[in-house]
């Protein structure tokens, strides 16, 4: 049926119905050995049930891999991306996009360890995730065989999927019988929801969609103020308490959730070519994004900042499209990281009913100089009269253009 004939496949396995069906489909379609990989990226689900389920479906214990990736995820993927202030299409904090490369990387690691010749994922054929997974697989292992069941099988409706599950004794949770009113992806950085009830971009998202944040309306009537310490562009402490990357992000998530922060209702453009509508919740990330801009505002030179800003859309696009393990992303990261060497200091942030406001920033490396900016003259470095020369030479080309216009009328 297909030219692929994998012997051993490493499957990104959540333990849920869909990836369980995939597991069984791989076994029955290819007659291959399946290795499951289940990762904790902070999606908020326990992992041990996935082990049990895998065993139940006949996976050998030595073929079941379960790993807590939360610290690695935040330290090596989320934080580098936040150094860039990355926003896709000006708004989206890239919560789903940034998780895929790490999962892919681990699948390839496991494939090498177990001698597997193939990998498989549960992403659909119309989304961005298939691209992100597969670009990362190929970037690490150029000749790996990739199985993308959603693009290959004929289980093209919910009914067929459930029939296959029943036929293969895959347990079906009661609430999975009916169709979910929307689909969800989640990790420590965010949750996203899309599809079904969200498909008309002119219908407001129902409140039940939101899982990571309470509504601003339900948040406390009193603002919460916190400080975040940064070192070289990364957050290291909240209210003076030093925290590991994942712990810190989890703490920010709590704070964001409680204050109704980080909701986004967006129509975005997928890499595969169509528009889609998503509801994103990035409580901690939203706080972090603003706070990072705050610390940069006093520690980054103007042109360093402007250069970063001008490249940010490209960086965000690369992450969104799935080019994390690509030389152009690494080149941009080198540029960005170079700029962050002294992005160190403290930001004070006010959280209130959906709002994040930077109210103070301080740094031993601050470039803000009260002397320079103060109304009264005096600072040695700045002579009012310099401004005239500055303006006149900046204007010279404009004056030449104006003179041409006077002369030629054009």
CA distance 126 to 123: 9
DSSP string, 148-160: -HHHH-S--SHHH
CA distance 133 to 125: 12
For residue 263, the minimal CB distance to a second copy (Å) is 7
Among 77, 83, 4, 12, residue whose Cα is nearest residue 50: 12
CA distance 238 to 340: 19
Exactly one of 183, 265, 348, 366 is catalytic; name it: 183
Known catalytic membership, residue 18: yes
Quick one: how far is CA 244 from the chain centroid?
19
Q: Which of residues 376-395 bind a second copy (CB under 8 A)?
A: 376-377, 380-395
Stretch that binds a second copy, among 21-29, 53-61, 68-76, 268-276 (CB under 8 A): 268-276
Q: Which of residues 298-357 bind a second copy (CB under 8 A)?
A: 298, 301-310, 312-314, 317, 323, 325-328, 330-332, 334-339, 341-342, 348, 350, 352-355, 357
Q: Which of residues 114-133 bind a second copy (CB under 8 A)?
A: 124-126, 130-131
Q: Which of residues 192-231 bind a second copy (CB under 8 A)?
A: 195-196, 199-205, 216-217, 221, 223
Q: Which of residues 166-185 bind a second copy (CB under 8 A)?
A: 183
For residue 161, the minimal CB distance to a second copy (Å) is 11
* Residue 4 neighbours by CB under 8 Å, 6+ apart: 30, 118, 145, 147
For residue 244, the minimal CB distance to a second copy (Å) is 25
* Residue 355 neighbours by CB under 8 Å, 6+ apart: 261
Among 84, 42, 79, 98, residue whose Cα is nearest residue 325: 98
Single residue of 262, 277, 319, 351 touching a second copy by CB under 8 A? 277
Parallel, antiparallel or unpaired: strands 118-120 and 8-12 = parallel
Q: What SS3 state is found at 373?
A: helix
Among 153, 168, 147, 223, residue whose Cα is nearest residue 53: 168
132 annotated ligand binder = yes
For residue 246, the minimal CB distance to a second copy (Å) is 27
Q: Which is nearer to a second copy, 176 or 353 (CB)?
A: 353
Q: Which is nearer to a second copy, 208 or 396 (CB)?
A: 396
403 binds a second copy (CB under 8 A): yes
Which DSSP state fits 128? S
Q: Which is nearer to a second copy, 68 or 218 (CB)?
A: 218
For residue 270, the minimal CB distance to a second copy (Å) is 8
Quick one: how far is CA 129 from the chain centroid?
12
For residue 324, the minimal CB distance to a second copy (Å) is 11
Token duo for residue 50 = 């996935």
Q: Which is nearer to a second copy, 46 or 154 (CB)?
A: 154
Indicate left, alpha or beta for 262 from its phi (over 0: left) and psi (-120 to 50: alpha).
left
Hey, CA dihedral for 262, 265, 266, 270, is it positive or negative?
positive
Q: Which is nearer to a second copy, 2 or 169 (CB)?
A: 2
Exactly one of 51, 70, 83, 100 is catalytic; name it: 100
402 binds a second copy (CB under 8 A): yes
Which DSSP state fits 124? -
Token duo for residue 141 = 């292992």
Known catalytic membership, residue 129: yes
Annotated binding-site residues for ATP read 12-20, 39, 122
Q: Which residues are annotated as a binding site for L-aspartate?
A: 124, 128-129
Q: Which residues are annotated as a binding site for L-citrulline?
A: 92, 97, 128, 132, 183, 192, 268, 280
For the annotated catalytic residues, the residue numbers are: 18, 100, 129, 183
């Amino acid at each position: 049926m297909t030219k692929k004939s994998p012997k051993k496949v490493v499957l990104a396995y959540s333990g849920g119905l869909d990836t369980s069906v995939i597991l069984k489909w791989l076994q029955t379609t290819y007659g291959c050995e399946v290795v499951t990989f289940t990762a904790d990226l902070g999606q908020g689900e326990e992992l041990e049930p996935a082990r049990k389920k895998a065993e139940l479906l006949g996976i050998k214990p030595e073929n079941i891999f379960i790993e807590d990736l939360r610290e690695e995820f935040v330290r090596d993927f989320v934080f580098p991306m936040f150094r860039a202030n990355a926003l896709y299409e000006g708004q989206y904090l890239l919560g789903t996009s940034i998780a895929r490369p790490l999962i892919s990387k681990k699948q390839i690691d496991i494939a090498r360890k177990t001698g597997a010749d193939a990998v498989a994922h549960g992403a659909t054929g119309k989304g961005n995730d298939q691209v992100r997974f597969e670009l990362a697989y190929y970037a690490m292992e150029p000749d790996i065989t990739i199985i993308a069941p959603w693009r290959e099988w004929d289980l093209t409706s919910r009914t067929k999927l459930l029939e296959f599950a029943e036929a293969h004794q895959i347990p079906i949770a009661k609430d999975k019988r009916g169709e979910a009113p929307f689909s969800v992806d989640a990790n420590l950085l965010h949750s996203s929801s899309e599809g079904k009830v969200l498909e008309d971009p002119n219908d407001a998202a129902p409140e039940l969609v939101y899982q990571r944040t309470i509504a601003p309306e339900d948040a406390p009537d009193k603002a919460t103020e916190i400080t975040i310490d940064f070192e070289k562009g990364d957050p290291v402490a909240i209210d003076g308490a030093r925290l590991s990357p994942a712990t810190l992000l989890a703490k920010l998530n709590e704070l964001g959730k409680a204050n109704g922060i980080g909701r986004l209702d967006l129509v975005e453009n997928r890499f595969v070519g169509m528009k889609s509508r998503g509801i994103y919740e990035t409580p901690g990330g939203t706080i972090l994004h603003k706070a990072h801009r705050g610390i940069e505002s006093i520690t980054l030179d103007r042109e360093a900042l402007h250069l970063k800003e001008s490249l940010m859309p490209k960086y965000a696009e690369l992450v969104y499209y799935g080019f994390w393990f690509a030389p152009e992303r690494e080149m941009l990261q080198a540029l960005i990281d170079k700029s962050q060497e002294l992005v160190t200091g403290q930001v004070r942030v006010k959280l209130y009913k959906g709002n994040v406001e930077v109210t103070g920033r301080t740094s031993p490396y601050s470039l803000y100089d009260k002397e320079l900016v103060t109304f009264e003259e005096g600072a040695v470095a700045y002579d009012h009269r310099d401004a005239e020369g500055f303006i006149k030479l900046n204007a010279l080309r404009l004056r030449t253009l104006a003179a041409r216009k006077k002369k030629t009328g054009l």
